[in-house]
Amino acid sequence: MASTGRTLIKGGRVIDPSLGLDRVADVAIEDSKVVGVDSGVDLEHAEVVDATGKIVCPGFIDLHTHLREPGFEYKETIATGTAAAARGGFTTVCAMPNTSPVMDSRSIVDFVLTKAAEEGVVRVLPIGAVTKGSKGKELAEMGELAEVGAIGFSDDGHPVSDDNIMRQALGYASSLGLPIINHAEVASLSSGGVMNEGWVATRLGLKGIPNSAEEIMVARDIELARLTGGRVHIAHASTAGTIELVRRAKEHGFSVTCEVTPHHLTLPDETVMGHLSANGPFDILTETAYDSNAKVAPPLRSGEDVEAMVEALKEGVIDFIATDHAPHGTVDKQTTFEDAANGISNLETALGSVMSLVHADSVPLPVLVDKLTASPAGFLGRSDLGTLRAGSTADVTIIDPDTEWVVEPSEFASKGKNTPLVGATLRGRVVATVFGGRVVYLE
């Protein structure tokens, strides 16, 4: 950033769904605010960034990030997690509460916010726990968490299984104007399962998790949202049945939203067979089979479910893309598939993954940008984020849509190197991220 505090991003294709904007233009920034978007802008004494041939859009917003701190700093810290976010084009990340101790009190939220202010390079918004210790027995002090800045409540990783607790949570959160973000999973159906129920699980001799384990919980949550008038948000939707339930709920006007992850949009359960098997028949086992980096909750689903996710994203049934960035230490993943932890470290690969849908003409680029910017900002009720409107916070992401790069986890800023995409060639990459008018990542 120039000493004048002025930056001019020139000649890029500016896509801003919040403004209905998609054309070549310049973006002018002064101090921490967007001055305006127009053609041929002349901002005196500004640092000029040539964005010719690039995509310029509002900074990405991730509603589902595991930063791990406090308690699991060997997996990730707020410093490393936000650095990874910046590399991935994200200027806002919402931190899930499954830390140790759990983010169920004012003091823990204060700690996270203070740490983010001191060591983070992008904005961190906290998500409070639904129940104390995320144990599902007693509601957390949700009013207190809202006062200190929680943008919603979740026990992610632990479904809110008790029907009455979920009903109470939705009712109370409704009075605060905030959503309950639930990990939809019926434990009695998924118990012992480690991947999607289907032919791949059978071939590998692994116990599967049926789609119904997710869909039954989604149906319950929708009905409780109808009953209470509360807002329920379905985290990491993964099945075609979930999409149909959400579609019908929206048609009836219920306060139901859902997200999808990059991996549930692009990776089928065959990925567990090992990425090298993509060069031949999927049912041929190689040394790359039982890839624990492809173990995630909910599990990677069938190709038909993946296709349903893509269609629902285009239709608007799915509200936005969220990474569910879940970094782990080496010991968590380099073990048997049954014992391995669930999760993928994907802040830095999210864009490259979903750009494959654009290059395959499956999803228009403006739709993809909307699902990473304006739509999550709308969910947060933040008119100052996810936009390049004059006077808004200068959060900007610059993308080269065509550059190809090979995923090398050793080069990640994140401590989590756990990705099934190791060695994969992706097309599309973030080249610069601007947060609050300051360049926080430059390729």
Catalytic residues: 324
Cα(213)–Cα(186) distance, integer angstroms: 5
Distance of CA 96 to the CA centre of its chain: 11
CA dihedral 370, 371, 373, 376 (to 10 degrees): 130
Which residues are within 8 A (CB) of 380 and not within 5 positions of it... i.e. 6 or more apart?
A: 61, 63, 125, 151
Give the burial class of 312: count Cβ atoms within 10 A of its Cβ; 0-12 exposed, 13-18 middle, 19 or more buried.
buried
Residue type for position 221: D
Instruction: Measure the CA–CA gap between 115 and 150, rounded to whole angstroms.
Output: 15
- What is the Cα–Cα distance from 111 to 148, expressed in whole angstroms? 11
Name the token pair of 419. 């990705």
Distance of CA 423 to the CA centre of its chain: 22
For residue 182 the two structure tokens come to 């639930």
- Phi-psi label, residue 11: left if phi above 0, alpha if psi -120 to 50, beta otherwise: left
Q: At what angle do helices 212-228 and 163-176 cross, to 10 degrees?
A: 50
Q: Report the amino acid identity of residue 318.
A: I
